[in-house]
């Protein structure tokens, strides 16, 4: 009986010495990408084209009074050109997105994502 008692004490002592904090990771997902937001008082539909160099990454249409937002999933270009085309012509603006790293499940938990937002004001 005495050997069992000693074994239990040794086991508990070993466990007490290993007090690494428990980490609970959740299962929230995220994707790398670029958010493009256009704010405008235009009273007509207009199209938005996002380019990186000569490559067109995404084109979308915006309507008056509705949010004009697009997420370019799995695109993290260093530089982009956003072109807004209306009946009156095209406006082009260049941006250098500042990507932020996030871990939605907590520090040390996967996934790690890089995202940035470019806002075009007309």
Q: Within a domain: residue 9?
A: no
Low-confidence ranges of the chain (pLDDT < 70): 1-23
pTM (two decimals): 0.75
Q: Within a domain: residue 55?
A: yes
**What's the CA gap between 50 and 83, in Å, rounded?**
6
57 SS3 class: strand
Domain enclosing residue 101, as ranges: 28-121
In this prediction, residue 84 carries a pLDDT of 96
Q: Within a domain: residue 7?
A: no
Q: Within a domain: residue 81?
A: yes
In this prediction, residue 27 carries a pLDDT of 87
Q: What is the CATH number of the domain that holds 48?
A: 2.60.40
Q: Are 82 and 35 in contact (CB under 8 A)?
A: no
- Determine which helix (DSSP H) or strand (DSSP E) holds 11, and give its type and residue range: helix 2-17
Q: Within a domain: residue 94?
A: yes
Domain count of the chain?
1
Q: Within a domain: residue 61?
A: yes
Q: Within a domain: residue 8?
A: no
**What's the CA gap between 98 and 76, in Å, rounded?**
10
Q: Are 18 and 11 in contact (CB under 8 A)?
A: no
In this prediction, residue 52 carries a pLDDT of 97
Q: Within a domain: residue 16?
A: no
In this prediction, residue 8 carries a pLDDT of 41
């Amino acid at each position: 009986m005495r050997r069992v008692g000693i074994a239990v004490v040794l086991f508990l002592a070993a466990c007490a010495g290993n007090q690494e904090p428990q980490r609970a990771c959740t299962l929230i997902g995220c994707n790398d990408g670029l958010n493009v937001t256009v704010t405008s008082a235009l009273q007509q539909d207009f199209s938005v084209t996002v380019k990186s160099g000569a490559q067109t990454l995404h084109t979308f249409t915006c309507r008056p009074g509705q949010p004009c937002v697009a997420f370019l999933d799995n695109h993290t270009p260093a530089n982009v050109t956003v072109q807004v085309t209306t009946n009156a012509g095209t406006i082009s603006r260049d941006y250098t997105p500042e990507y932020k790293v996030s871990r939605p499940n907590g520090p040390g938990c996967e996934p790690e994502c890089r995202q940035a937002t470019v806002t075009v004001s007309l």
